[in-house]
Chains A and B, each alone.
Chain A
Amino acid sequence: MKANFSAARCLVIPAVWILLQTFSTAASADRLDYVRPQILPPPPNNAITAERVELGKVLFFDPRLSGSNWISCATCHNPGIGWADGLPTGIGNGMESLARSTPTVLNTAYNKFQFWDGRARTLEEQALAPIVNAGEMHQDIGMLVEELAAIAGYVGLFEGAYPAEGINESTISRAIAAYERTLITTDAPFDLWVAGDEAAIDDAAKRGFELFEGKARCTACHQGFNFQDDGFHNIGLISKGPPDPGRYLVRPIAAVMGAFKTPTLRELARTAPYMHDGSYATLRAVLEHYNRGGDVLEGLSPEMRPLYLTADEIDDLLAFLDTLNSIDPLTETIPILPQ
């Protein structure tokens, strides 16, 4: 599915919802927990318009947003790699490796917290942080405003998106957030099955779903349509460097020392490697980690415990997770940047 930047894109009732109405008697109650929300959570003071989405897209792909004029948002959030970067951890200014992996921006519209440690509540709050972060895009925001204001094409785009508001931190962050809010996963086989199409996923995936909700205890954290809980958990990963306090930096409470936000499970086939530090290259390795109950016991979430899954059960879980990949993934056309 090609992105078309129309605000209407966010309002279209997905085909799967229509299917759900058709097959509602077939869809069991537990499956209803996974139905796609009909509307996105409302943005704060930033109604989605075509002009805002268009401006946000251009900004998202423009490397002039970085201090080096070489790194754009899309450098790390690459549409061709699941809107992430395919690396264990991100690479920022000066080709320096970052401490955490680049999360996909897909479905971040549904998140109540942004970043692995949840330090931003909204996409608007999040959007500027990587731009000004010295380790990431290393841009002085005052200089960025001046640079953009000197580009005639941007002046018109900002005026169209935010009339009479000008080019400033607020309009830059709101435009990027408006665009990101349109980056939503499309229907996956699992969604068709939720809607009542029994043939949409195979028997192994169905067994995997039962394990997901049962013996494997995945739903302790991976819940609902977006398979996350807006929660923070220490899952016992072995640190590759100095231990990362994670959420504890935001809320110094013992339970969240080394805890990170539960990520979505959608589009996993396109967003390897996995975990907040890119620890695992494959989903099988991820499941084996959970099957062991984690590796580091200090600070470990009480939700973590050995699962005693058999090899066949892990195969079934993998089959289920594979049904969460969009049938027709969201793609994007790189914009011509204003001059």
Chain B
Amino acid sequence: MSFNCKYSPIFGLVFGMSAFAQDYVVDQIDKSFVVDGAPVESIRVKQGESVSFRNGDPFFHNIFSLSDIQIFDLGSYPNGEARSVTFDEPGTVEVECAIHPDMYMTVEVE
């Protein structure tokens, strides 16, 4: 399932992690990536847009990517916390949870 719905900007300060505007929110629920209540395998964003990864599970997650075009590690964070990343280069970015690696999605940066 792929989503391309643009969310109303949600400001990172709401989640206490970033002062940058968040263009998209991806939740982690039941060890799945979820957008608007539905599991997703991929989302599409535009170059320069940000995605906030929000932990809705009662245990820690650690979102990261080791993709060729973008490497990031958001660290481990608990329920209710969100951390964001801005996607600067076009292409496919693979995103996983280091703790629960069956959690996998891609961000298609246009």
**A residues at B contact (CB < 8 Å):** 112-113, 118, 220-221, 229-233, 247, 251-256, 259, 301-303
Contact = CB atoms under 8 A, between A and B. Distances in A.
B98 A256 contact: yes
A252 B73 CA distance: 10
B31 interface: yes
A302 B62 CA distance: 11
A253 B64 contact: yes
A232 B99 CA distance: 5
Contacts of B102: 112-113, 230
Those 5 A-B pairs whose CB atoms lie nearest each other, nearest first: A253-B98, A255-B62, A231-B100, A255-B98, A220-B59
Interface in B64-79: 64, 66, 73, 75-76, 78
26 contacts: A112-B102, A113-B101, A118-B101, A220-B59, A221-B59, A229-B31, A229-B59, A230-B100, A230-B101, A230-B102, A231-B101, A232-B101, A233-B99, A247-B98, A251-B96, A252-B66, A253-B62, A253-B66, A253-B73, A254-B73, A254-B75, A255-B98, A255-B99, A256-B98, A259-B99, A302-B76
A129 B60 CA distance: 31
Contacts of A229: 31, 59, 100
A253 B100 CA distance: 12
A255 B101 contact: no
Contacts of B101: 113, 118, 230-232, 251
Interface in B55-99: 58-60, 62, 64, 66, 73, 75-76, 78, 96, 98-99
Given A113-B101, A118-B101, A230-B31, 17 more contacts: A229-B59, A229-B100, A230-B101, A231-B99, A232-B101, A233-B99, A251-B66, A251-B101, A253-B64, A253-B73, A255-B62, A255-B98, A256-B99, A259-B99, A301-B99, A302-B60, A303-B59
A119 B100 CA distance: 13
Select the residue from B60, B64, B98, B100 with max chain A CB neighbours within 10 A: B98
Given A255-B75, A302-B76, A232 B60 contact: no
Contacts of B59: 220-221, 229, 303
A302 B101 CA distance: 17
Given A254-B73, A255-B76, A303 B98 contact: no
Contacts of B99: 231-233, 255-256, 259, 301
A233 B101 CA distance: 12
A259 B9 CA distance: 36
A112 B58 CA distance: 21
Contacts of A256: 62, 98-99
A255 B102 CA distance: 16
B98 A232 contact: yes
Contacts of B78: 302
Contacts of B64: 251, 253
A56 B99 CA distance: 32
A237 B23 CA distance: 41
Contacts of A302: 60, 76, 78
Contacts of A220: 58-60
Nearest to B65: A253
Nearest to A221: B59
Contacts of A221: 59
A220 B59 CA distance: 6
B100 A301 contact: no
A260 B101 CA distance: 12
A191 to B, nearest CB: 22
Nearest to A256: B98
